[in-house]
Amino acid sequence: MKLRSLTFLSVLFLFSCTSSPELDEVPDSQEDEVEMNDADFIRRHIEGTLRIPATEEYDLKMYQENLNGDDIPDYIITVNRLQLALNEAIESGNIAKRAEIGYMGNYNYIFYMNGANRTMSSPIPVPSSPHAKLRVTFEKIRSEAYFDVMVDFRIRNSGWRRFFTILRDTPRQTFEMKCFDGLGTNQREAYSVEFNRGTYSLAKDIWVYKADLEEMSFDDPMGIYTADPTITPSTQLDRKWFFNDNELKYYTEK
């Protein structure tokens, strides 16, 4: 029997900013039925697309937000296949080597589903350490009419963030940054971000500042993947990034 962790989340925060969508009131039973219908449809699509066998345990989470400006909530779905990563490490005969690099590979994915027509995107792999599940947050970057998506992931003792905007029902990556590195060591570095009025387009500029990373130690090597270290921003600007509308990507001045 397959074991699944299926979580429905409304994640609407970044740093100290919060927001909540206003939804039409419906009876609890009707709302639950709608959500479960979506969840069942999403699960079937993902299992078929990724060819997940009935014997595999995996983690699936659904995040809901308005991502295309039609005022109908859409979904970002994350999939974590840690069990597959461990099984493949055993089959390879190189468990120690795989463990040393954090079982890096295509074991974390994101999907997008248009809430209006239930169109689902192809899987987008996020190569990372599967011991750490993806974390999704939202921010209005390209427009005040809808949110863009930020996906946090881990590579060993470093943390990274990818930015996506939705274009024709597909998440399009616009930017990537290092959030921290050297966690658990004396060679630590960290960065924080600030969104400011766009210089060359309506999309907000991304200002990256140097920051301090909390000092931490780990008795359990796996603890490094679940740790949530404190990042303390500084006023030292590292770099400004500007959005290029033609290429839908962020660039910085040399």
3-state per-residue secondary structure call for 148-192: EEEEEEEECCEEEEEEEEEECCEEEEEEEEEEEECCCCCCCEEEE
- What mean pLDDT comes out for the span 37-65? 93
pTM: 0.84
Tokens of 240: 């400004």
Longest dimension (CA), the chain: 56
Q: List, for residues 117-133, the tens digit of each pLDDT value.
A: 999 999 999 999 999 99
State the residue for tokens 């290429």.
247
Q: Is the pLDDT of residue 107 over 60?
A: yes
Instruction: Compute the distance between CA of residue 9 and CA of residue 37 in angstroms, rounded to an integer.
Output: 15
Pairing status of strand 158-167 against strand 231-244: unpaired
Torsion of CA 99, 58, 163, 113, to 10 degrees: 160
**168 to 171, 187, 248: CA distances (angstroms):** 8, 42, 13
DSSP state of 146: S
Determine the pLDDT at residue 22.
34
**202 to 142, 198, 239: CA distances (angstroms):** 7, 5, 19
Lowest-pLDDT range of 71-80, 170-179, 217-226 = 217-226
Determine the pLDDT at residue 221.
84
Q: Is the pLDDT of residue 21 over 70?
A: no
Determine the pLDDT at residue 37.
72
